[in-house]
């Protein structure tokens, strides 16, 4: 992604149940443009992250950014929220990252996809690691719900806000879990009650593709 700070950009902060989130925005030709959104991280607060990127830039908001932060706060309180891509500076991302981010944006609440399936959808079969890197650098978390992407075996994988926040977000959205670190793919959802299903990449993703499991990859 290109440098975050653009001329006339300003940060805005909002307290949420998970901590303070921050949005960096700038006036654009068609209204406010979102340059980046920061989550609270276990090792670094959003305010500290903003100060490192744009030191001394005063906070300032506008109606459109306040409305966006209202949606973010509602989502973090457990509400079902649908975000649009309008106003996001996706043009500052590479073409591949844009494809990954757009595919991720289409994953509905209460469902997950995998890094490998996203890579395949973006035209890069075998590019799961590249898809993971694209999402690790997601400049618009929550708006583009990278918390809904897991590893092929059902493991949660990484998240900018930390593993605990990723799990909590998925739980708020109704995803079941096999254990603390894996989303559930088990007999309750179409498997054999007498034998726990395998958790290999192929078995999980076959379920994703056929709809037998409580996961979807929807575009």
Contacts 24+ apart (CB under 8 A), 55-59: 57/5, 57/9, 57/10, 57/11, 58/10, 59/10, 59/11, 59/12, 59/13
Active-site position among 35, 54, 93, 146: 146
Phi, psi angle pair for 114, to nearest 5°: -120, 160
DSSP state of 172: H
Q: Is 62 a catalytic residue?
A: no
- CA 119, CA 97: separation in Å to the nearest integer? 10
Residues 6+ apart with CB under 8 A from 70: none
Question: What's the distance, CA 184 to chain centroid?
Answer: 19
The residues with which 155 forms a beta bridge, in sequence order, are: 182
Give me the active site residues, please: 146
């Amino acid at each position: 992604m290109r440098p975050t700070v653009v001329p006339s950009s300003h940060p805005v902060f909002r307290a949420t149940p998970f901590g303070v989130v921050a949005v960096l925005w700038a006036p654009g030709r068609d209204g406010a443009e979102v340059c980046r959104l920061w989550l609270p991280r276990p090792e670094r607060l959003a305010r500290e992250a903003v100060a490192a990127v744009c030191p001394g830039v005063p906070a300032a908001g506008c109606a459109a950014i306040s409305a966006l932060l209202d949606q973010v706060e509602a989502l973090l309180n457990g509400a079902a929220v649908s975000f649009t891509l309008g106003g996001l500076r996706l043009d500052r991302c590479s073409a591949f990252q844009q494809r990954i981010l757009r595919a991720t944006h289409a994953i509905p609440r209460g469902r997950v996809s995998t890094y490998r399936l996203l890579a395949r959808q973006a035209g890069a079969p075998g590019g799961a690691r590249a898809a993971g890197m694209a999402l690790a650098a997601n400049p618009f978390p929550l708006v583009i719900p990278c918390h809904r992407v897991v590893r092929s075996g059902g493991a949660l994988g990484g998240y900018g806000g930390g593993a605990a926040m990723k799990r909590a977000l998925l739980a708020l959205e109704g995803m079941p879990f096999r254990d603390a670190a894996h989303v559930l793919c088990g007999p309750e959802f179409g498997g054999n009650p007498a034998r726990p299903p395998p958790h290999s990449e192929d078995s999980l993703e076959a379920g994703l593709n056929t709809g037998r499991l409580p996961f979807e990859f929807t575009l």
